[in-house]
Amino acid sequence: MPAAFGGSPVVWAAWLYYEEGLTQDEIARRIGVSRASVNNLLQTARDEGVVTISVAPAHLSRVSLAQEISERFGIGECLVIPDDDGRRPDHERVGVAGARLLAERLQPDDVLGVSWGRTVLALSEALPFRPLPGLSVVQVTGSAIGTYRFAAELCTSNIANRLGGRCIYLHAPGIVSRPAVKRVLMAEPTVREQFHIIGSCNRIVFGVGSVESSSTAFESGFLTPGEARPYIEAGAVGVLAGRFLDGRGSFVRGSMDDRLIGITLDAIRSVPDRICVAAGPAKVAAIRATMAGGFVTTLVTDQRTATALLEAR
Protein backbone atom coordinates (compact mmCIF):
# COMPACT_ATOMS: atom_id res chain seq x y z
CA MET A 1 0.00 0.00 0.00
CA PRO A 2 1.36 3.48 -0.83
CA ALA A 3 2.62 5.20 2.31
CA ALA A 4 0.55 8.30 1.52
CA PHE A 5 -2.59 6.46 2.65
CA GLY A 6 -1.26 5.83 6.15
CA GLY A 7 -1.89 2.11 6.02
CA SER A 8 -5.66 2.57 5.58
CA PRO A 9 -7.29 0.48 2.84
CA VAL A 10 -10.43 2.62 3.33
CA VAL A 11 -8.61 5.82 2.33
CA TRP A 12 -6.80 4.03 -0.50
CA ALA A 13 -10.04 2.61 -1.96
CA ALA A 14 -11.78 5.98 -1.62
CA TRP A 15 -8.92 7.74 -3.43
CA LEU A 16 -8.91 5.27 -6.30
CA TYR A 17 -12.69 5.45 -6.71
CA TYR A 18 -13.45 9.15 -6.25
CA GLU A 19 -10.20 10.81 -7.35
CA GLU A 20 -8.78 8.47 -9.99
CA GLY A 21 -12.16 7.30 -11.29
CA LEU A 22 -11.42 3.57 -11.21
CA THR A 23 -14.28 1.09 -11.19
CA GLN A 24 -14.83 -1.20 -8.23
CA ASP A 25 -13.52 -4.15 -10.27
CA GLU A 26 -10.35 -2.23 -11.12
CA ILE A 27 -9.85 -1.27 -7.49
CA ALA A 28 -10.31 -4.88 -6.40
CA ARG A 29 -7.50 -5.95 -8.75
CA ARG A 30 -5.25 -3.06 -7.68
CA ILE A 31 -5.68 -3.71 -3.95
CA GLY A 32 -5.94 -7.47 -4.20
CA VAL A 33 -9.38 -8.00 -2.61
CA SER A 34 -12.83 -8.99 -3.80
CA ARG A 35 -15.28 -6.55 -5.39
CA ALA A 36 -17.59 -7.03 -2.39
CA SER A 37 -14.74 -5.94 -0.11
CA VAL A 38 -14.22 -2.80 -2.20
CA ASN A 39 -17.91 -1.97 -1.85
CA ASN A 40 -17.60 -2.37 1.93
CA LEU A 41 -14.50 -0.16 2.02
CA LEU A 42 -16.28 2.61 0.10
CA GLN A 43 -19.31 2.40 2.39
CA THR A 44 -16.99 2.67 5.41
CA ALA A 45 -15.38 5.73 3.83
CA ARG A 46 -18.77 7.41 3.65
CA ASP A 47 -19.84 6.31 7.12
CA GLU A 48 -16.61 7.55 8.77
CA GLY A 49 -16.51 10.86 6.91
CA VAL A 50 -13.45 10.00 4.84
CA VAL A 51 -15.64 10.91 1.89
CA THR A 52 -18.46 13.44 1.94
CA ILE A 53 -20.90 13.61 -0.96
CA SER A 54 -22.91 16.75 -1.67
CA VAL A 55 -25.06 18.06 -4.48
CA ALA A 56 -23.78 21.20 -6.24
CA PRO A 57 -25.63 24.34 -5.06
CA ALA A 58 -26.92 25.12 -8.55
CA HIS A 59 -28.63 21.75 -8.74
CA LEU A 60 -29.99 22.09 -5.21
CA SER A 61 -31.50 25.46 -6.09
CA ARG A 62 -33.45 24.02 -9.03
CA VAL A 63 -34.62 21.05 -6.98
CA SER A 64 -35.81 23.41 -4.25
CA LEU A 65 -37.67 25.55 -6.79
CA ALA A 66 -39.32 22.47 -8.30
CA GLN A 67 -40.42 21.14 -4.92
CA GLU A 68 -41.80 24.50 -3.81
CA ILE A 69 -43.80 24.88 -7.04
CA SER A 70 -45.20 21.36 -6.67
CA GLU A 71 -46.27 22.04 -3.10
CA ARG A 72 -47.64 25.55 -3.60
CA PHE A 73 -49.66 24.80 -6.72
CA GLY A 74 -50.62 21.24 -5.82
CA ILE A 75 -49.13 19.51 -8.86
CA GLY A 76 -47.52 16.11 -8.83
CA GLU A 77 -44.13 16.98 -10.28
CA CYS A 78 -42.10 19.92 -11.58
CA LEU A 79 -38.93 19.77 -13.66
CA VAL A 80 -36.83 22.96 -13.63
CA ILE A 81 -33.95 23.26 -16.10
CA PRO A 82 -31.06 25.71 -15.66
CA ASP A 83 -30.98 29.09 -17.38
CA ASP A 84 -28.42 29.51 -20.16
CA ASP A 85 -28.17 33.32 -20.32
CA GLY A 86 -30.26 33.48 -23.47
CA ARG A 87 -28.03 31.35 -25.69
CA ARG A 88 -31.01 29.28 -26.85
CA PRO A 89 -34.70 30.21 -26.92
CA ASP A 90 -36.75 29.19 -23.88
CA HIS A 91 -39.12 27.03 -25.90
CA GLU A 92 -36.31 24.97 -27.44
CA ARG A 93 -34.61 24.16 -24.14
CA VAL A 94 -37.86 23.38 -22.34
CA GLY A 95 -39.00 21.28 -25.30
CA VAL A 96 -35.83 19.17 -25.13
CA ALA A 97 -36.30 18.66 -21.37
CA GLY A 98 -39.95 17.74 -21.94
CA ALA A 99 -38.92 15.21 -24.58
CA ARG A 100 -36.59 13.46 -22.11
CA LEU A 101 -39.31 13.32 -19.49
CA LEU A 102 -41.95 12.09 -21.94
CA ALA A 103 -39.63 9.41 -23.36
CA GLU A 104 -39.03 8.04 -19.86
CA ARG A 105 -42.71 8.09 -18.95
CA LEU A 106 -44.47 6.71 -22.03
CA GLN A 107 -45.48 3.05 -21.99
CA PRO A 108 -46.70 0.62 -24.66
CA ASP A 109 -50.42 0.97 -25.42
CA ASP A 110 -50.56 4.55 -24.08
CA VAL A 111 -52.91 7.02 -25.76
CA LEU A 112 -51.07 10.35 -25.89
CA GLY A 113 -52.92 13.57 -26.67
CA VAL A 114 -50.87 16.30 -28.35
CA SER A 115 -51.64 20.02 -28.59
CA TRP A 116 -49.58 22.49 -30.63
CA GLY A 117 -47.16 25.39 -30.32
CA ARG A 118 -43.46 26.18 -30.45
CA THR A 119 -42.53 24.32 -27.27
CA VAL A 120 -44.57 21.23 -28.15
CA LEU A 121 -42.95 21.21 -31.60
CA ALA A 122 -39.48 21.44 -30.03
CA LEU A 123 -40.41 18.52 -27.81
CA SER A 124 -41.61 16.48 -30.77
CA GLU A 125 -38.36 17.11 -32.66
CA ALA A 126 -36.15 16.19 -29.67
CA LEU A 127 -37.74 12.81 -28.91
CA PRO A 128 -35.45 9.82 -29.48
CA PHE A 129 -36.44 7.16 -31.98
CA ARG A 130 -37.79 4.35 -29.79
CA PRO A 131 -40.68 2.17 -30.97
CA LEU A 132 -43.46 1.69 -28.41
CA PRO A 133 -45.86 -1.13 -29.33
CA GLY A 134 -49.51 -0.15 -29.33
CA LEU A 135 -48.91 3.56 -28.78
CA SER A 136 -51.53 5.96 -30.18
CA VAL A 137 -50.70 9.65 -30.67
CA VAL A 138 -53.76 11.85 -31.01
CA GLN A 139 -54.20 15.43 -32.25
CA VAL A 140 -56.48 17.15 -29.71
CA THR A 141 -57.05 20.56 -31.31
CA GLY A 142 -58.42 21.36 -34.72
CA SER A 143 -56.30 22.64 -37.58
CA ALA A 144 -55.42 26.23 -38.42
CA ILE A 145 -53.70 27.40 -41.60
CA GLY A 146 -51.65 30.03 -39.79
CA THR A 147 -50.01 27.48 -37.48
CA TYR A 148 -48.19 25.57 -40.23
CA ARG A 149 -44.76 26.08 -38.59
CA PHE A 150 -45.85 24.41 -35.35
CA ALA A 151 -49.19 22.92 -36.30
CA ALA A 152 -50.96 20.30 -34.25
CA GLU A 153 -50.68 17.90 -37.20
CA LEU A 154 -46.90 18.35 -37.34
CA CYS A 155 -46.41 17.98 -33.60
CA THR A 156 -48.57 14.85 -33.57
CA SER A 157 -46.94 13.20 -36.60
CA ASN A 158 -43.41 13.93 -35.33
CA ILE A 159 -44.10 12.14 -32.05
CA ALA A 160 -45.86 9.24 -33.75
CA ASN A 161 -43.02 8.78 -36.26
CA ARG A 162 -40.30 8.80 -33.60
CA LEU A 163 -42.13 6.34 -31.37
CA GLY A 164 -43.61 4.12 -34.06
CA GLY A 165 -47.11 4.94 -32.88
CA ARG A 166 -50.46 5.15 -34.62
CA CYS A 167 -51.04 8.77 -35.65
CA ILE A 168 -54.62 10.00 -35.32
CA TYR A 169 -55.42 13.41 -36.79
CA LEU A 170 -58.43 15.54 -35.91
CA HIS A 171 -59.97 16.20 -39.34
CA ALA A 172 -61.62 19.51 -38.60
CA PRO A 173 -60.73 23.22 -38.45
CA GLY A 174 -59.81 24.63 -35.07
CA ILE A 175 -62.27 27.50 -35.49
CA VAL A 176 -65.22 27.53 -37.85
CA SER A 177 -67.28 30.47 -39.14
CA ARG A 178 -70.55 29.75 -37.32
CA PRO A 179 -71.82 27.58 -34.46
CA ALA A 180 -74.06 25.77 -36.93
CA VAL A 181 -71.02 24.63 -38.90
CA LYS A 182 -69.49 23.23 -35.72
CA ARG A 183 -72.67 21.29 -34.95
CA VAL A 184 -72.66 19.74 -38.42
CA LEU A 185 -68.98 18.75 -38.21
CA MET A 186 -69.31 17.34 -34.70
CA ALA A 187 -72.15 15.11 -35.93
CA GLU A 188 -69.96 13.51 -38.59
CA PRO A 189 -69.17 9.86 -37.68
CA THR A 190 -65.44 10.28 -38.39
CA VAL A 191 -65.13 13.33 -36.15
CA ARG A 192 -67.22 11.68 -33.43
CA GLU A 193 -64.88 8.68 -33.48
CA GLN A 194 -61.83 10.94 -33.27
CA PHE A 195 -63.29 12.67 -30.20
CA HIS A 196 -64.02 9.27 -28.70
CA ILE A 197 -60.30 8.46 -29.02
CA ILE A 198 -59.38 11.86 -27.55
CA GLY A 199 -61.55 10.96 -24.58
CA SER A 200 -59.47 7.81 -24.03
CA CYS A 201 -56.13 9.64 -23.62
CA ASN A 202 -54.22 8.64 -20.51
CA ARG A 203 -51.51 11.25 -21.14
CA ILE A 204 -51.50 14.67 -22.77
CA VAL A 205 -48.73 17.16 -23.56
CA PHE A 206 -49.48 20.83 -24.16
CA GLY A 207 -48.14 24.35 -23.99
CA VAL A 208 -49.91 27.43 -22.73
CA GLY A 209 -50.17 30.87 -24.31
CA SER A 210 -50.29 34.35 -22.87
CA VAL A 211 -52.79 36.98 -23.96
CA GLU A 212 -50.07 39.37 -25.11
CA SER A 213 -50.00 40.33 -28.79
CA SER A 214 -46.72 38.41 -29.23
CA SER A 215 -48.32 35.15 -28.10
CA THR A 216 -48.18 32.22 -30.49
CA ALA A 217 -51.97 32.05 -30.55
CA PHE A 218 -52.14 35.53 -32.11
CA GLU A 219 -48.93 35.46 -34.13
CA SER A 220 -50.05 32.26 -35.82
CA GLY A 221 -53.42 33.66 -36.80
CA PHE A 222 -55.29 31.02 -34.78
CA LEU A 223 -56.85 33.92 -32.83
CA THR A 224 -57.16 37.59 -33.67
CA PRO A 225 -56.84 40.49 -31.20
CA GLY A 226 -60.44 41.40 -31.95
CA GLU A 227 -61.69 37.93 -31.04
CA ALA A 228 -59.62 37.91 -27.86
CA ARG A 229 -60.52 41.41 -26.61
CA PRO A 230 -63.82 40.48 -24.88
CA TYR A 231 -62.07 37.61 -23.08
CA ILE A 232 -59.21 39.82 -21.91
CA GLU A 233 -61.67 42.45 -20.70
CA ALA A 234 -63.40 39.68 -18.74
CA GLY A 235 -60.14 38.86 -16.96
CA ALA A 236 -58.44 36.25 -19.19
CA VAL A 237 -54.69 35.87 -18.63
CA GLY A 238 -53.90 32.71 -20.60
CA VAL A 239 -54.96 30.44 -23.44
CA LEU A 240 -55.05 26.65 -23.15
CA ALA A 241 -56.00 24.63 -26.24
CA GLY A 242 -57.83 27.68 -27.58
CA ARG A 243 -59.80 28.25 -24.36
CA PHE A 244 -59.28 31.33 -22.19
CA LEU A 245 -58.48 31.16 -18.46
CA ASP A 246 -58.59 33.84 -15.80
CA GLY A 247 -56.05 34.20 -13.00
CA ARG A 248 -57.79 31.55 -10.89
CA GLY A 249 -57.71 29.07 -13.74
CA SER A 250 -61.45 29.34 -14.39
CA PHE A 251 -62.87 29.11 -17.90
CA VAL A 252 -63.66 32.53 -19.36
CA ARG A 253 -66.57 31.94 -21.70
CA GLY A 254 -67.34 33.93 -24.83
CA SER A 255 -69.05 33.79 -28.19
CA MET A 256 -66.05 32.23 -29.91
CA ASP A 257 -66.28 29.06 -27.82
CA ASP A 258 -69.29 27.91 -29.82
CA ARG A 259 -67.06 27.89 -32.91
CA LEU A 260 -64.02 26.09 -31.44
CA ILE A 261 -63.38 22.45 -32.31
CA GLY A 262 -60.99 20.62 -30.05
CA ILE A 263 -60.53 19.12 -26.63
CA THR A 264 -62.45 20.89 -23.86
CA LEU A 265 -61.00 22.06 -20.57
CA ASP A 266 -63.01 19.46 -18.67
CA ALA A 267 -61.63 16.76 -20.95
CA ILE A 268 -58.05 17.95 -20.34
CA ARG A 269 -58.60 17.88 -16.60
CA SER A 270 -59.87 14.29 -16.81
CA VAL A 271 -56.63 12.98 -18.41
CA PRO A 272 -54.56 11.26 -15.68
CA ASP A 273 -51.10 12.47 -16.78
CA ARG A 274 -51.11 16.14 -17.91
CA ILE A 275 -47.70 17.51 -18.95
CA CYS A 276 -47.36 21.25 -19.49
CA VAL A 277 -44.21 22.51 -21.21
CA ALA A 278 -43.90 26.28 -20.96
CA ALA A 279 -41.42 29.02 -20.03
CA GLY A 280 -40.77 32.72 -20.41
CA PRO A 281 -41.61 35.90 -18.48
CA ALA A 282 -44.65 36.62 -20.65
CA LYS A 283 -46.20 33.27 -19.74
CA VAL A 284 -45.93 33.46 -15.94
CA ALA A 285 -49.57 34.51 -15.38
CA ALA A 286 -50.81 31.93 -17.90
CA ILE A 287 -48.80 29.10 -16.34
CA ARG A 288 -50.02 30.01 -12.85
CA ALA A 289 -53.61 30.02 -14.12
CA THR A 290 -53.17 26.62 -15.77
CA MET A 291 -51.87 25.12 -12.54
CA ALA A 292 -54.49 26.88 -10.41
CA GLY A 293 -57.22 25.43 -12.62
CA GLY A 294 -56.03 21.87 -12.03
CA PHE A 295 -54.97 21.28 -15.62
CA VAL A 296 -51.35 20.30 -14.83
CA THR A 297 -49.90 17.26 -13.12
CA THR A 298 -46.33 17.85 -14.39
CA LEU A 299 -44.76 21.19 -15.29
CA VAL A 300 -41.54 21.50 -17.30
CA THR A 301 -40.06 25.00 -17.21
CA ASP A 302 -36.81 26.88 -16.68
CA GLN A 303 -35.21 28.42 -13.60
CA ARG A 304 -36.08 32.03 -14.41
CA THR A 305 -39.74 31.20 -14.99
CA ALA A 306 -39.88 29.00 -11.89
CA THR A 307 -38.55 31.87 -9.76
CA ALA A 308 -41.09 34.27 -11.27
CA LEU A 309 -43.94 31.82 -10.63
CA LEU A 310 -43.13 31.81 -6.94
CA GLU A 311 -42.62 35.57 -6.71
CA ALA A 312 -45.77 36.58 -8.60
CA ARG A 313 -48.87 37.46 -6.59
Q: Can you tell me the mean pLDDT for 34-47?
A: 92
Q: Looking at per-residue confidence, does 87 or 306 come out higher?
A: 306
Q: Can you tell me the mean pLDDT for 14-39?
A: 92
Domain at 3-47: CATH code: 1.10.10.10
Average pLDDT over the chain, rounded to an integer? 89
Does the pLDDT value for residue 147 go beyond 60?
Answer: no
Least confident interval from 77-91, 94-108, 291-305: 77-91
| CA atoms of 183 and 261, how far apart (whole Å) | 10
CB 289 within 8 A of CB 239: no
Confidence grade of residue 192 (pLDDT, cut at 50, 70, 90): very high
**DSSP class of residue 262?**
B
- Give the model confidence (pLDDT) of 228-264 as tens digits: 889 999 999 999 998 999 999 999 999 899 999 999 9
By the 10 Å C-beta count (0-12 exposed, 13-18 middle, 19+ buried), 187 is classed as exposed
Q: What ranges do the domains of the chain cover? A: 3-47, 57-311
CB 147 within 8 A of CB 116: yes
Q: Can you tell me the mean pLDDT for 65-88?
A: 89
Q: What is the pTM of this model?
A: 0.80
| CA atoms of 144 and 172, how far apart (whole Å) | 9
- Give the model confidence (pLDDT) of 263-285 as tens digits: 999 999 999 999 999 999 899 99
Confidence grade of residue 167 (pLDDT, cut at 50, 70, 90): very high
Q: Can you tell me the mean pLDDT for 29-52?
A: 91
Q: Can you tell me the mean pLDDT for 287-292?
A: 96
How open is the CA angle 31-36-39, to the nearest 5 degrees?
A: 80
Domain at 57-311: CATH code: 3.40.50.1360
Q: What are phi and psi of 299, to 5 degrees?
A: -110, 130
Q: Can you tell me the mean pLDDT for 34-58?
A: 84
Confidence grade of residue 213 (pLDDT, cut at 50, 70, 90): low
Q: Can you tell me the mean pLDDT for 170-192?
A: 93
* Sign of the dihedral through C-alpha 212, 216, 219, 224: negative
Q: Which residues of 96-113 are buried (b: 16+ CB within 10 A; e: fewer)?
A: bbbbbbbbeebeeebbbb
Confidence grade of residue 95 (pLDDT, cut at 50, 70, 90): very high
Does the pLDDT value for residue 1 go beyond 80?
Answer: no
Q: Can you tell me the mean pLDDT for 206-217?
A: 81
Report pLDDT for 144. Answer: 74
Confidence grade of residue 55 (pLDDT, cut at 50, 70, 90): low
Helices (H), 234-282: 265-270
